[in-house]
Amino acid sequence: MRVFSGARPTGRQHIGNYLGAIRNYAELQEEYECIYCIVDVHALTTMEDALSTSRIQSNIQEMMLDWLACGLDPQKSILFVQSRVPEVLELHTFLSMITPLGWLLRVPTFKEKVRVQPHNVNYGLVGYPVLQAADIVLYKAELVPVGEDQLPHLELAREIARRFNNIFGYTFPEPEAKLTNLPLVLGLDGEQKMSKSLGNDIELASSPKETEERVMTAVTDPARRYLSDPGHPDICNIFRLHHFFNSEGVEEIARACPEAHIGCVECKKMLAGRMNACLAPMRERRENLARKPQYIREILDHGAERARIIACATLGEVKHKIGLT
């Protein structure tokens, strides 16, 4: 079975990326043939000027540092940058011919982008899920590790693959999503998805001090205003994160919080301490890797070469089936 996933070059990764996706990337490479791609062309859909595009290369570098430090292994997985395998753009064009516009206009993330960037509703933005489908089916991937926010896109990728198969004969497996046990990590506001663009994130590579400062700003149970108020861990985002970073202490908090035996400040301090302890080895690996930029360039060069072999084979088959060769 082949696994594929992509993520935009947003730079340093946050704990939402980690708990929702990167953990699975690393686990799956132990069992399957995995291909992980930094989708730089997708990033262009929300960039409006040369200043933002000028950050793409450093964002790729930062993101690779996090991926490698989290355990992605170039000996096991193919790691590459989307634009280095231009066959995907050709396949995107072919798939766009069989994708009804109505399917794309209904996608929730498209509607959301129209709301937040009404001045830049570009053609590429509408086609974002078609390019994503092309990414996945170009490698005939069957499993796609992603966060919950990506499910509508994946459903569309399945529909596009099915439609192509129906018209031109079986070519692509219908890819399935693979979620982690925390597929939607909320941001420090406790309301919206943790996301770099919303500024409610904690970066994996933050210093221990920055991590603590960020955690201390997090919203907890809004009904709890005084130390003597009983808390509701079931609705508290900080409590949810304790499950992942403080598995030994989580039961004690579940008991103490509703009885007001522990306050939110203490609870957050504890989380920050545990988070820093869990992330320390990853941060150390990252620091070492950061001294070897040439090594990262080599990984990406080699990854693109390997990806391109698979991509060219699929594209040849697609052109033949369509009747272009």
Does 184 bind ligand ADP (CB under 6 A)? Our answer is yes
* Binding region for ligand ADP (CB under 6 A) out of 30-38, 122-130, 161-169, 193-201: 193-201
Residue from 3, 11, 16, 87 in contact with ligand ADP (CB under 6 A): 16
Q: How many CB atoms lie within 10 A of CB 174?
A: 16
- Beta carbons within 8 Å of 4's beta carbon, 6+ residues apart: 34, 35, 36, 37, 135, 136, 139, 141, 143, 144, 175
Does an H or E element contain 143, and which?
strand 143-145
Catalytic residue among 76, 140, 196, 321: 196
CB of 16 to ligand ADP, least distance (A): 3
Does 147 bind ligand ADP (CB under 6 A)? Our answer is yes
Residue for token digits 């909320």?
186
Residues in region 197-256 near ligand ADP by CB under 6 A = 197
Catalytic residue among 193, 269, 319, 321: 193
Residue from 3, 4, 10, 79 in contact with ligand ADP (CB under 6 A): 10
Residue from 3, 4, 8, 95 in contact with ligand ADP (CB under 6 A): 8
* Count of positions on this chain that bind ligand ADP (CB under 6 A): 19
Sheet containing strand 2-7, strands side by side:
77-81, 33-38, 2-7, 143-145, 176-178
Does 21 bind ligand ADP (CB under 6 A)? Our answer is yes
Q: Report residue 8 as tokens.
A: 């935009």
Q: Which is nearer to ligand ADP, 243 or 321 (CB)?
A: 243
Does an H or E element contain 211, and which?
helix 208-216
Q: Which is nearer to ligand ADP, 73 or 148 (CB)?
A: 148
Residue from 11, 20, 74, 231 in contact with ligand ADP (CB under 6 A): 20
Interatomic CA distance for residues 300 and 79, integer angstroms: 6
Q: Which is nearer to ligand ADP, 29 or 231 (CB)?
A: 29
Q: Which is nearer to ligand ADP, 53 or 288 (CB)?
A: 53
- Sign (positive or negative) of CA dihedral 160, 129, 44, 9: negative
Q: Which is nearer to ligand ADP, 154 or 289 (CB)?
A: 154
Q: What is the distance in angstroms between the CA of the first residue and the CA of the last residue of the chain?
A: 29
Active site includes 140? Answer: no
Active site includes 111? Answer: no
Pick from 8, 300, 2, 304: nearest CA to 128: 8
CB of 307 to ligand ADP, least distance (A): 18
* Binding region for ligand ADP (CB under 6 A) out of 82-90, 183-191, 209-217, 273-281: 183-191
Interatomic CA distance for residues 313 and 242, integer angstroms: 46
Interatomic CA distance for residues 175 and 227, integer angstroms: 49
- Beta carbons within 8 Å of 148's beta carbon, 6+ residues apart: 20, 179, 183, 184
* Binding region for ligand ADP (CB under 6 A) out of 118-126, 134-142, 192-200, 268-276: 192-200
Residues in region 27-46 near ligand ADP by CB under 6 A = none
- Beta carbons within 8 Å of 76's beta carbon, 6+ residues apart: 29, 30, 34
CB closest to ligand ADP, residue no: 20
Would you tell me which residues interact with ligand ADP (CB under 6 A)?
A: 7-8, 10, 16-17, 20-21, 146-147, 149-150, 183-185, 193-197
Residues designated catalytic: 113, 193, 196
